[in-house]
């Protein structure tokens, strides 16, 4: 159901016991739909939610109307159970909302400033990769700064390995190789990242901050915003750790924006 | 508001961005009220929710009616914000529900069987101790077993230290000393545990499973259920790790049950 209130006993609300997807929709056609549905399905299996016919969602994008929209789809385990224990026969509940969306061309082509968050993500392999509703770590991390000149915050895990930004994935180029952090212990596996993994040679690895300091280009990406090249990285106290020159003809951004129908180059 | 539906954009639902308390109420009088309000206040500060006048909640227990009830009080950051980023001026939202409650005298006096969960809690000092809404780790852990002969599951953290059970705190006696795990990196600091900490000599420590194997008594406790002495501990494959004989005149249970108005001994 669209925009409908939730009963107080919904387990998504009580415990974060559910999943969501935020999907870019252009004139009623979704981008990366197959990847969003695959991640949702993976989340359903990981949380052991009852089977759900995802085909029921196929008709939603066309109902979003003209222009660029973000369709948010939320699936929860529904109501019931005794405390944390799910009910024997859970009936999943789903809701969707639509909002207008305007991406930032300034960030695509002018790049962004990023800081390191103090918060470290806890290691939780059972939840890693999926987009579940229990996202309080991201909320706390996003509260660490209010300065609009900082577009995003980098997150390391409790052992000091790079993971992601608060709402975007992280990719860098080092010695000609495209690298991205393993998302097997925490973090969300973005759909744009998965799509690029199918088309580019992405190297998944466990690496600390030093990998970024050795990189000659760094990008933040997601399936709604597209690609933000990183211009400058600060530590959590605001001291500059490194700056990068932006590349006018950025092949990585082009590959990613092709997936989303976004402009490949400035002025396109 | 009591039992009222939530708007779809409530941040408690979207991100687990909120807190809850489950409070035992007997004939309209709450137990451990001061400890519940203190933990709620601590959570409000940790999540940087706007200030909230907790005195507004003082009138709720009297509205619960006669008999033994559980009052669940939920506070969220409310609606709004851009993604994970909270709104500049959040307006917290709260809801409450009441349900009848019947504790298990069989578990108080007959003890319980407990298993070790496979899931390890991620380390997140920023959320440790408070009772926030992002409890998916507890839900996953509670899904590990379905056998009603197992009352609870023990949780270790990602480094192998004891933390708690899925919905209860853990206390044991070793060499005459009452010990309980530090809750500074994960876990929830229960209100009954806090109340006992004010009246007994509890030793807080970082310890692995071996501490339980050396213990001559083990208890699970919370402010609603009271005290469950552990009779037997299994590993996650169902192999018995240790059994304990129950003590008829259990001074720890007596001290805890005094806090809750529960019977001190079998037959009371």
**Token representation of residue A238:** 């605001």
How far apart are the C-alpha atoms of A80 and A88, rounded to whole Å? 9
CA distance B57 to chain A (A): 18
A63 and A161 part of one domain: no
Write b or e for each residue in B105-114: b if 16 or more Cβ atoms lie within 10 A of its Cβ, otherwise e. Answer: eebbbebbbb
Q: Which residues contact B37 (CB under 8 A, 6 or more apart)?
A: B54, B57
A73 and A112 part of one domain: no
Residue in chain B lying closest to A1 (CA): B8
Is A5 part of any domain?
no
**pLDDT given at position B268:** 86
Is A179 part of any domain?
yes
Residue A194: enclosing H or E segment and its boundaries? helix A191-197
A122 and A171 part of one domain: yes
A93 and A210 part of one domain: no
Contacts of A165 in chain B (CB under 8 A): none
Print the domain residue range for A241: 105-260
How far apart are the C-alpha atoms of A226 and A195, rounded to whole Å? 12
Which pLDDT band holds residue A267 (cuts at 50, 70, 90)? confident
CA distance A17 to chain B (A): 6
Is B267 part of any domain?
no
Which pLDDT band holds residue A186 (cuts at 50, 70, 90)? very high
Place of tokens 């006696």: B173
How far apart are the C-alpha atoms of B134 and B152, rounded to whole Å? 20
Beta strand A68-76 with A93-100 is: antiparallel
Which pLDDT band holds residue B1 (cuts at 50, 70, 90)? confident
Q: How many CB atoms lie within 10 A of CB B42?
A: 15
Q: How many CB atoms lie within 10 A of CB B55?
A: 8
B153 and B183 part of one domain: yes
How far apart are the C-alpha atoms of A203 and A200, rounded to whole Å? 9
CATH of residue B222's domain is 3.20.10.10
Is A233 part of any domain?
yes
Is B1 part of any domain?
no
Residue after which a domain boundary falls, among B100, B124, B141: B100
Contacts of A136 in chain B (CB under 8 A): 15-17, 47, 127, 132-134
DSSP state of A64: G
One DSSP character per residue, A75-98 reads EE--B--BTTBPPTT---EEEEEE
Q: For the residues A191-211, what does the mean pLDDT come to?
A: 98
- Partner-chain residue, chosen from B122, B133, B158, that has the shortest CB–CB distance to A15: B133
Provide the 3-class DSSP secondary structure of residue B44.
helix
Mean pLDDT lowest for which of A80-84, A220-224, B47-51, B64-68?
A80-84
The total domain count for chain A is 2
Residue after which a domain boundary falls, among A77, A100, A123: A100
Length, in residues, of chain B: 268
Residue after which a domain boundary falls, among B81, B100, B119: B100
With beta carbons less than 8 A apart as the criterion, state whether B81 and B11 touch: yes
A150 and A199 part of one domain: yes
**Token representation of residue A79:** 């109501």
Which pLDDT band holds residue A230 (cuts at 50, 70, 90)? very high
**pLDDT given at position B235:** 98
Q: For the residues A66-76, what does the mean pLDDT come to?
A: 98
How far apart are the C-alpha atoms of B11 and B79, rounded to whole Å? 6
- Partner-chain residue, chosen from A17, A86, A136, that has the shortest CB–CB distance to B17: A136
With beta carbons less than 8 A apart as the criterion, state whether B25 and B64 touch: yes
Mind listing the pLDDT tens digit for each residue in A39-62?
999 999 999 999 999 999 999 999
How far apart are the C-alpha atoms of B117 and A55, rounded to whole Å? 35
Provide the ipTM: 0.96
Is A33 part of any domain?
yes
**pLDDT given at position B81:** 85
Helix and strand numbers (H, E) in chain A are 7, 13
Q: Which residues contact A66 (CB under 8 A, 6 or more apart)?
A: A27, A28
**Token representation of residue A130:** 């999926």
Q: List C-alpha distances in Å: A164 to A154, A155, A232, B4, B63.
A: 6, 5, 16, 37, 47
**pLDDT given at position B133:** 98
Contacts of A119 in chain B (CB under 8 A): 126
A124 and A83 part of one domain: no
Q: Which residues pair with A150 in a beta bridge?
A: A113
* A101: pLDDT strictly greater than 90: yes
How far apart are the C-alpha atoms of B65 and B166, rounded to whole Å? 29
Assess whether A242 carries a catalytic annotation. Answer: no
Q: For the residues B216-227, what does the mean pLDDT come to?
A: 98
**Token representation of residue A43:** 């989340």
CA B6 centroid distance within chain: 24
Q: List C-alpha distances in Å: B232 to A202, B216, B240.
A: 49, 12, 7
A252 and A124 part of one domain: yes
A196 and A63 part of one domain: no
A96 and A111 part of one domain: no
Mind listing the pLDDT tens digit for each residue in B103-129?
999 999 999 999 999 999 999 999 999
Assess whether B242 carries a catalytic annotation. Answer: no
Mind listing the pLDDT tens digit for each residue in A248-261?
899 999 999 999 99
* A5: pLDDT strictly greater than 90: no
B66 and B47 part of one domain: yes
Q: Which of B11, B18, B135, B188 to mutate to test the interface with A (most CBs of A within 10 A)?
A: B135
Write b or e for each residue in B56-91: b if 16 or more Cβ atoms lie within 10 A of its Cβ, otherwise e. Answer: ebeebbeebeeebbbbbbbbbbbbebeebbbeeebe
Q: Which residues contact B18 (CB under 8 A, 6 or more apart)?
A: B11, B12, B47, B49, B74, B75, B76, B77, B132, B133
- Partner-chain residue, chosen from B47, B95, B122, that has the shortest CB–CB distance to A186: B122
Is B17 part of any domain?
yes
Write b or e for each residue in B131-167: b if 16 or more Cβ atoms lie within 10 A of its Cβ, otherwise e. Answer: bbbbbbbbbbbbbebeeeebbbbbbbbbeebbbbbbb
Q: Which residues pair with A98 in a beta bridge?
A: A71
**pLDDT given at position B78:** 96
Assess whether A22 carries a catalytic annotation. Answer: yes
A227 and A142 part of one domain: yes
Is A113 part of any domain?
yes
Q: For the residues A134-152, what does the mean pLDDT come to?
A: 97
Q: For the residues B252-259, what does the mean pLDDT come to?
A: 98
Mean pLDDT of chain A: 97
Contacts of A83 in chain B (CB under 8 A): 142, 167
CATH of residue A60's domain is 3.30.470.10
């Amino acid at each position: 159901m669209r925009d409908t209130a939730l009963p107080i006993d919904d387990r998504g609300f009580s415990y974060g016991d559910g999943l969501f997807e935020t999907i870019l929709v252009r004139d009623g056609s979704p981008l990366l739909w197959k990847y969003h549905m695959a991640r949702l399905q993976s989340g359903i299996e990981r949380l052991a939610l009852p089977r759900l016919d995802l085909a029921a969602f196929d008709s939603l994008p066309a109902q979003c109307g003209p222009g660029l929209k973000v369709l948010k789809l939320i699936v929860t385990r529904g109501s019931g159970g005794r405390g944390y224990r799910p009910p024997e026969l859970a009936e999943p509940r789903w809701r969707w909302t639509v909002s207008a969306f305007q991406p930032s061309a300034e960030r695509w082509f002018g790049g962004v400033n990023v800081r390191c968050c103090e918060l470290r993500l806890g290691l939780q392999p059972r939840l890693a990769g999926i987009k579940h509703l229990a996202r309080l770590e991201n909320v706390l991390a996003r509260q660490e700064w209010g300065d609009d000149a900082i577009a995003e915050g980098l997150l390391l895990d409790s052992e000091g390995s790079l993971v992601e930004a608060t709402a975007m994935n992280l990719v860098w180029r080092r010695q000609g190789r495209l690298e991205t952090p393993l998302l097997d212990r925490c973090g969300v596996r973005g759909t744009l990242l998965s799509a690029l993994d199918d088309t580019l040679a992405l190297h998944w690895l466990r690496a600390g901050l030093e990998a970024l300091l050795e990189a000659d280009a760094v990008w933040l990406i997601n399936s709604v915003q597209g690609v933000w090249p990183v211009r400058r990285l600060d530590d959590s106290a605001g001291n500059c750790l490194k700056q990068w020159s932006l590349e006018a003809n950025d092949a990585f951004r082009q590959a990613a924006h092709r997936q989303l129908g976004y402009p490949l180059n400035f002025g396109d």
